[in-house]
Structure 1
Amino acid sequence: MQWSLILLFLMGQCCFITCLYEYHYVGENKNWSEAQQYCREKYTDLATVSNMTDMKRIPNKSGANMNEAWIGLYDQTDGNRTWHWSLPGVEFSKSKTNWSQGEPDDVNTENCGMIKKYLAWGDLSCGNDKQFPFLCYDDKVILIKENKTWEEALYYCRDHYHDLVTITDLDEQRWVQEEVKKASTLFVWMGLRYTCTLDLWFWISDEVVSYKNWVSDGQMDDCDMSGAMETGGQHKWFKKNDTEELNFICSK
């Protein structure tokens, strides 16, 4: 079994690594609600841009095309001024805002968020007369709520999508965390595997294990072990016997 998994690892070396999400600029003029509906029909949702890493992934359109564009930022206008992201389950953090100087400048009527050419945020009225291009994003990971062994999960992802998920930095960790919250098992498989023959942990996508989020005693160098993320708590990584049957995360 060990050699068969090493073979799977070598096969994975030819895989192309993609971001776990990507942005799409839509040059059609729509109001905020129409833009949200469009993004949910064609992609995943209006764009969530909660940190500068996200910002830099936004297409840098030239000229007037990207002067202003809707993003998935809105205020519920329920009497308590609180901003939210359009994507359900993603919390808005005040410590990760990127408002333009003086914004938000109208706490009463400007309840929808937009992004400017220099990637700072502004607030505008959500009315039908306010129509702009907009940014959608497409989620590149998917939770499979079926219980499978690690190897079964690997084959499933490669047959139906791209691969078991690879996590290379904190931003991708946070993105996957949102998916695993919906799992029906306490842990979910990732594309992380330990090989006794090579004496190392590796991502089956051939990415180096540089970013790590192990629980303090989680990284045990045992044979027949693979990496799983806890679906609650701090979403730490745990070593699990790869014959356990868990939900898993595929990358598209």
Structure 2
Amino acid sequence: MGDPKEGWIGIYWNKTVQKWVWSGGDIVTYHNDLDLQNDGLVLLQSTADNVYWTVNGWQWKNGGEKHSFFCFDLTVVQEEKTWEEALEHCRKNNGHLTSLLSVTENLLATNEIQQSSIRERVWIGLRYLGDSWMWVNGAPLEYDAWSQGGDQDRQCPMKRRCGALTKEGVWESWDCQEKLSFICY
């Protein structure tokens, strides 16, 4: 059914509220350079009512077309724990601390924490071991969202060996003993 790196991402035009929304009901706040706020979308809405992800960014598509899709079930846990405690909590209840393997997954996780009462950042399943960053589920680190020139500690962290996601969608390295909220999947 097509390239697994492409697919529906769950954004559609809601005719009732006249806005682009996520399939979970939240209004879309990030739009990947697509003009979601333009008043001139009447023609577009009659021809394309959903958003499709490709390696080149988001595209408009008609919802009647058949394509692969991304399904991402996240649980934001607002209780604050160390990274290890968060990992254990996720394993006992939901599976893993989340891995963010693409722009789409990073955006979905960012949207989840923006909709919560999280103050600044949450633990994700990213850990510095040996001489590299890796995901706790074993997935390769092919995509990253480190701040541009910001978090230099990630290059060779001393104590900051655990990854966190900010409300702005940026990854940061943090001391694993800090207590933060976290995201399980």
TM-score of the pair, normalised by structure 2:
0.69
Which stretches in structure 2 are left out of the alignment for 5+ residues?
48-61
- CA distance in 1 between partners of 2:91 and 2:155 (Å): 27
- CA distance in 1 between partners of 2:140 and 2:72 (Å): 23
Deviation at 1:207, TM superposition (A): 1.1
- CA distance in 2 between partners of 1:188 and 1:103 (Å): 36
The 5-angstrom pairing of residues 27-176 of structure 1 reads 53-55=6-8, 73-76=13-16, 82-85=18-21, 87-91=24-28, 93=31, 95=34, 104=46, 115-117=63-65, 139-176=72-109
RMSD (CA atoms): 3.2
Aligned residue in 2 for 1:221: 156
Query: Who wins on radius of gyration, i.e. which is larger?
Result: 1
Q: Which amino acid aligns with 2:25?
A: P
Deviation at 1:53, TM superposition (A): 3.0
Flag the 1:102–1:220 CA change in 2: closer, same or farther, 3 A: closer
Flag the 1:147–1:73 CA change in 2: closer, same or farther, 3 A: same
Aligned residue in 1 for 2:131: 199
Flag the 1:73–1:103 CA change in 2: closer, same or farther, 3 A: closer
Flag the 1:180–1:240 CA change in 2: closer, same or farther, 3 A: same
Aligned length: 153
Moved beyond 4 Å, runs of 4+: none
Which stretches in structure 1 are left out of the alignment for 5+ residues?
1-51, 59-70, 106-113, 120-136
Deviation at 1:250, TM superposition (A): 0.4
- CA distance in 2 between partners of 1:83 and 1:184 (Å): 25
- CA distance in 1 between partners of 2:44 and 2:110 (Å): 33
Percent of counterpart pairs with the same letter?
A: 22
